[in-house]
């Protein structure tokens, strides 16, 4: 097995923080990490003089390379080093274009500059930001076989899936003079002699790449001293102040806090009942906000329509119309030639509402263009018929749009003539009113109030299981102004608004008057109460302790998006029955797809969970000197070994940390035996 790191930076670019390259640290890295091959891959540049200096000070294979921005992703391009002039010239063109535009290359430009892509090893960011898109990957068909990932979890995901690229895992480090801890992110390849050619071949075969020197992917190096972790479930044991939490923190730093789900000791335990209740409600609201938005979406659409309706204004316009009509009728004796003209009180033409037709056109267009369900659609409606329907609907839309434009033009002319006639006449004119719109608005408000009353009927539209718990959403009316105030999280008063709560349209107007933070986009939340609860296995509302249990399950389950899950002494907050029946199961499930590290003193977690790997931290004081060691190995091994070769019996460590020693274990066992029937 050969150890490689094909992503190393030795020169500051416009996309890096400034650093000063250190030849000594590069030599130390290659020597201490026992690297067999590296590639120099600076961002959008290649420094030939520096590369040649590096090759002269190292006795391993050093490949010339460059990391190029291509179509919003980063791609490593590695040459064989034989025609360095041509490679350097191509890299100079890349650098020049980057300086001119500061924009990623298009694939066509990339290929034009680099020429025949078969002469390179091309490695894009794959499961790593900024990653290559499927569309760009397709353009490189035949030239890309492996992809760089950002964690062992993603390495394993790619390695198990034959449809994905062969994964590689590199340091992507800056070899600076301030580099203290050496990188531990490398890939092992299975080949006898490492050359550019053999490297290009093995990187096409997922069975020839691995995370460990043994050729397997069950472990990976985590610390520079050689300490390993399992890609599955790791249990960390140790006495108090022996370095367990320190070890967890170093693991967190290795993966990066943004990629780590770290459940710290006592983090989930309730301390203040009132504060815990508030946090719990906030948690539920955040977790279920998407459901709330979806459940109330139709109601919020209706709210938007109601906010456009002003019934008071409608009533005023009708009253003005009736009043002017009566006045006009009473003044018949005063009518003159101008007021007797037919057009004097002519009503404008009504515009045709095209919303329904436009919706129908969009629906037909979706049916025509849909790819995913094409076979089902074609089975019932031939595509030619759909196209003909779409064309006919568009023609109808054009005709009706034209008719509306004509109505607009005629209405404008009528209005202009009426205004001139009314200015010359002494007779009162009849005020214009759109009685159809007034009636439609009144009917819409009545329908809206029916909709709100239906939405407020008590129901339970959401039930979602999580372990032995169940998240439920209960819908119903608000019972007082205080509940509205709690929802708004402000000092605004809702007493006046709540008096109108049973008249939804009037209630909306009151909400409008309240102002910030009651935004119109959230009015539906004040019309209908959506309340979330966590029920235990008995169907009762979860108690404070049960909430903490639920939080733990949710935190573990929520680690799916992280690269590693760290849990610090869960037994400090939870009982053994809960740990055994629920936590162990979900932890094991998570460890099948990502590294999980659990610190514990509890045999329910430490032994019953059946870990893949054990780590034992030890602090040893020798005079004024403190020595920190980590012993590790599989739980089936008789002895755990430190990176410096020291050994400790596995049985003694387990009994001492999980059972308080052999004597205590035997006494407890004897007690249990005595209690047997």
Q: Distance between the two ends of the chain, CA-based, in angstroms?
A: 59
Q: Which helix (H) or strand (E) holds 3?
A: strand 2-9
Condensed to tens digits (0 to 9), the pLDDT of residues 259-288 reads 999 988 766 665 566 666 677 777 776 766
User: For residue 497, what are the contacts with CB-CB under 8 A and spacing of at least 6?
Assistant: 481, 484, 507, 510, 511, 513, 514
Model pLDDT, residue 426: 65
Write out the two tokens for 334.
Answer: 């005063």
Write out the two tokens for 433.
Answer: 């009113």
| Distance from C-alpha of 140 to C-alpha of 111, rounded to nearest angstrom | 10
619 in Cβ contact with 243 (< 8 Å) = yes
This prediction has a pTM of 0.72
| Distance from C-alpha of 325 to C-alpha of 344, rounded to nearest angstrom | 13
What phi, psi does 29 have (nearest 5°)? -60, -50
Q: What is the CATH number of domain 2-217?
A: 3.20.20.140
User: For residue 421, what are the contacts with CB-CB under 8 A and spacing of at least 6?
Assistant: 338, 339, 341, 343, 344
497 in Cβ contact with 484 (< 8 Å) = yes
Write out the two tokens for 382.
Answer: 């031939």
| Distance from C-alpha of 435 to C-alpha of 226, rounded to nearest angstrom | 84
Classify each residue of 374-394 as buried b or exposed e, where b means 16 or more C-beta atoms within 10 Å of its C-beta. Answer: eeebeeeeeeeebeebbeebe
Write out the two tokens for 580.
Answer: 């055994």
pLDDT, the chain, mean: 87
| Distance from C-alpha of 64 to C-alpha of 86, rounded to nearest angstrom | 12
Using DSSP, state whether 532 is helix, strand or coil: strand
223 in Cβ contact with 232 (< 8 Å) = no
Instruction: For the chain, list residues with pLDDT below 50.
Output: none
Q: Where are the domains of the chain?
A: 2-217, 235-269+547-674, 275-305+451-535, 332-427
Instruction: Please give the angle made by the CA atoms of 373, 377 and 381, to the nearest 5 degrees.
Output: 170
| Distance from C-alpha of 295 to C-alpha of 140, rounded to nearest angstrom | 44
User: For residue 502, what are the contacts with CB-CB under 8 A and spacing of at least 6?
Assistant: none
What are the residue ranges of helices labelled H in 102-192?
Answer: 107-114, 134-139, 152-160
What phi, psi does 484 have (nearest 5°)? -65, -40
10 in Cβ contact with 26 (< 8 Å) = yes
Classify each residue of 264-287 as buried b or exposed e, where b means 16 or more C-beta atoms within 10 Å of its C-beta. Answer: ebeebbbeeeeeeeeebeebbeee
CA-wise closest residue to 164 among 180, 151, 145:
145
Q: What is the CATH number of domain 235-269+547-674?
A: 3.40.50.300
Write out the two tokens for 517.
Answer: 């933070």
Write out the two tokens for 101.
Answer: 């535009």
Taking the CA atoms of residue 419, residue 421, residue 423 and residue 429 in that order, the dihedral angle to the nearest 10 degrees is: -80
Is 549 exposed, middle or buried, given 0-12, 13-18 or 19+ CB atoms closer than 10 A?
Answer: buried
What single string gives the DSSP state of each residue in 626-660? EEEEEEEE-TTSSEEEETTS-EEEHHHHHHHHHSS
Residues shown for the chain: 677
Condensed to tens digits (0 to 9), the pLDDT of residues 300-312 reads 999 999 999 999 9
Model pLDDT, residue 606: 64
Model pLDDT, residue 268: 61
User: For residue 445, what are the contacts with CB-CB under 8 A and spacing of at least 6?
Assistant: 306, 309, 311, 505
């Amino acid at each position: 097995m050969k150890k490689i790191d094909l992503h190393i930076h030795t020169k500051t670019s416009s996309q890096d923080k400034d650093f000063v390259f250190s030849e000594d640290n590069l030599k130390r890295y290659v020597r201490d990490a026992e690297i067999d091959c590296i590639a120099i891959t600076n961002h959008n540049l290649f420094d030939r003089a520096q590369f040649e200096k590096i090759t002269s000070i190292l006795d391993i294979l050093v490949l010339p390379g460059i990391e190029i921005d291509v179509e919003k992703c980063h791609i490593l391009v590695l040459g064989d080093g034989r025609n360095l002039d041509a490679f350097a010239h191509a890299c100079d063109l890349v650098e020049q274009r980057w300086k001119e535009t500061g924009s990623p290359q298009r694939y066509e430009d990339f290929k034009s500059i680099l020429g025949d892509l078969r002469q390179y090893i091309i490695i894009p960011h794959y499961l790593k930001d900024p990653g290559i898109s499927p569309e760009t990957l397709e353009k490189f068909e035949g030239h890309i076989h492996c992809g760089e990932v950002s964690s062992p979890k993603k390495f394993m995901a790619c390695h198990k899936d034959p449809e994905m690229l062969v994964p590689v895992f590199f340091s992507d480090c800056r070899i600076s003079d301030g580099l203290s801890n050496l990188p531990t992110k490398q890939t092992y390849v299975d080949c006898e002699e490492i050359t550019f050619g053999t490297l290009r071949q093995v990187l096409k075969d997922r069975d020839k790449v691995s995370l460990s020197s043994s050729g397997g992917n069950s472990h990976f190096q985590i610390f520079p001293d050689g300490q390993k972790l399992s890609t599955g479930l790791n249990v960390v044991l140790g006495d108090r102040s022996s370095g367990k939490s320190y070890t967890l923190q170093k693991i967190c730093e290795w993966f990066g806090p943004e990629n780590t789900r770290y459940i710290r000791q006592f983090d989930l335990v309730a301390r203040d009942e009132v504060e815990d209740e508030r946090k719990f409600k906030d948690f539920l609201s955040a977790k279920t906000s998407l459901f709330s938005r979806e459940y109330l979406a139709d109601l919020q659409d209706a709210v938007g329509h109601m906010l456009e309706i002003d019934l008071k204004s409608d009533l005023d316009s009708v009253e003005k119309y009736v009043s002017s009509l009566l006045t006009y009728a009473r003044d018949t004796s005063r009518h003159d030639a101008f007021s007797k003209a037919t057009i004097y009180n002519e009503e404008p033409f009504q515009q045709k509402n095209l919303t329904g037709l436009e919706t129908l056109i969009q629906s037909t267009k979706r049916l025509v263009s849909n790819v995913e369900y094409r076979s089902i659609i074609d089975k019932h409606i031939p595509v030619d018929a759909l196209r003909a329907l779409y064309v006919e609907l568009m023609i109808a839309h054009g005709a009706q749009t034209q008719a509306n434009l004509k109505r607009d033009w005629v209405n404008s002319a009528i209005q202009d003539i009426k205004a001139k006639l009314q200015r010359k006449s002494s007779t009162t004119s009849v005020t214009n009113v759109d009685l159809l719109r007034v009636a439609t608005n009144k009917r819409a408000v009545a329908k809206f109030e029916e909709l709100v009353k239906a939405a407020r009927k008590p129901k339970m539209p959401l039930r979602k299981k999580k372990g032995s718990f169940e998240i439920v959403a209960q819908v119903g009316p608000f019972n007082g102004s205080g509940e509205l105030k709690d929802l708004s999280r402000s000092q605004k008063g809702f007493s006046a608004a709540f008096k109108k709560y049973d008249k939804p349209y009037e209630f909306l107007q009151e909400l409008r008057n309240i102002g910030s933070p009651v935004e119109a986009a959230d009015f539906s939340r004040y019309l209908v109460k959506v309340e979330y609860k966590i029920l235990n296995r008995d169907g009762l509302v979860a108690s404070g302790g049960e909430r903490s249990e639920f939080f733990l399950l949710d935190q573990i389950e929520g680690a799916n998006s992280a690269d590693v899950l760290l849990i610090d002494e869960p037994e400090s907050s939870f009982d053994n029955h809960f740990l055994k029946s629920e936590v162990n199961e979900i932890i094991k499930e998570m460890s099948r797809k990502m590294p999980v590290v659990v610190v514990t003193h509890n045999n329910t977690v430490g032994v019953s969970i059946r870990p893949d790997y054990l780590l034992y931290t030890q602090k040893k004081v020798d005079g004024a000197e403190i020595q920190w060691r980590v012993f590790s190995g599989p739980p089936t091994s008789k002895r755990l070994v430190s990176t410096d070769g020291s050994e400790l019996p596995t049985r003694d460590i387990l009994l001492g940390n999980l059972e308080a020693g052999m004597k205590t274990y035997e006494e407890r066992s004897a007690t249990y035996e005595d209690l047997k029937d």
